[in-house]
Amino acid sequence: MSTDLSRLSLNQITVDHVSLEEAVEACAAAGITWIAPWRHKVAETGLVRSARLLHDARLRVSSLCRGGFFPAAQS
């Protein structure tokens, strides 16, 4: 099993019970360098503060998730 975490990204919904700041701290502590924050977490934290947290922790953003699955009447 590889211990290389360079391509691992934390999708924040998997830890939705914690704040963006806590998720960033956990990533940094675990050596995870990528995160996929969700819009509602960025909104709760504020865009400027979110950007500062990510920058200070040297985290890169793999994606910005906007919401869940949206069912359609027709597919």
Domain boundaries, the chain: 9-61
What is the tens place of the pLDDT at every residue in 51-68?
Answer: 999 999 999 999 999 876
Query: In Å, what is the CA distance from 8 to each residue of 34, 43, 71?
Result: 6, 24, 29
Report how far residue 63's alpha carbon sits from residue 36's, in angstroms, rounded to the nearest whole number.
5
What is the tens place of the pLDDT at every residue in 9-54?
Answer: 999 999 999 999 999 999 999 999 999 999 999 999 999 999 999 9
